[in-house]
């Protein structure tokens, strides 16, 4: 059953991250879907905050992947495939090995590698509702 959460303040994102990860405790691959500026990287910062990452979280737009360390779950992988033109670029950088690692993998612009994602990937849709005050974010997962 899909869950829809509306975020009106950035501080609410840690609660949304907690709800997402508690809803899917055995899943490790999450696809962050949303338009440019929807808040995918910002949400990733709050996912990492909830997972107690000790590293600074930033967009891996140019490196394609960032690794973050945590004392609780080990390494967390953060991908951004905005720049790639073909899924083979992801294959060449070892993306499928990351997916097989049993570590958390959070993927921005997952539509670029959709054919490589396993069937149990959790898709999170992030939309901005410009008709609501403060451009509220809507999360569906």
Domains of the chain: 4-140 (3.40.50.300)
User: Angle at which helices 40-50 and 13-23 pack, to 10 degrees?
Assistant: 70
> b/e map of 41-73 (b: 16 or more CB within 10 Å)?
bbbbbbbbebbebeeebebbeeebbbebebeee
Question: Could you give the percent of the chain with pLDDT greater than 90?
Answer: 85
pTM of the predicted protein model:
0.94
pLDDT tens track for 63-114: 999 999 999 999 999 999 999 999 999 999 999 999 999 999 999 999 999 9
Count of residues making up the chain: 141
Q: Measure the CA–CA gap between 85 and 90, rounded to whole angstroms.
A: 10
| Nearest Cα to Cα of residue 110 among 24, 7, 34, 6 | 34
- Per-residue pLDDT, 22: 97
Residue 123 has pLDDT above 90, yes or no: yes
Q: What is the pLDDT averaged over residues 6-10?
A: 88
- Per-residue pLDDT, 32: 98
């Amino acid at each position: 059953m899909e869950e829809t959460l509306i975020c009106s303040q950035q501080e609410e994102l840690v609660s949304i991250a907690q709800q997402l990860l508690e809803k899917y405790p055995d899943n490790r691959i999450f696809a962050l879907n949303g338009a440019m500026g929807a808040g995918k990287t910002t949400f990733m910062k709050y996912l990492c905050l909830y997972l107690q990452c000790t590293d600074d979280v930033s967009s891996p737009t140019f490196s394609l992947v960032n690794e973050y360390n945590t004392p609780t779950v080990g390494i967390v992988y953060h991908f951004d495939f905005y720049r790639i033109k073909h899924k083979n670029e992801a294959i060449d950088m070892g993306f499928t090995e990351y997916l097989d690692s049993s570590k958390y993998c959070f993927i921005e612009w997952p539509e670029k590698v959709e054919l490589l994602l396993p069937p149990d990937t959790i898709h999170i849709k992030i939309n901005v509702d410009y008709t609501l005050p403060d451009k509220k974010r809507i999360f569906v997962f």
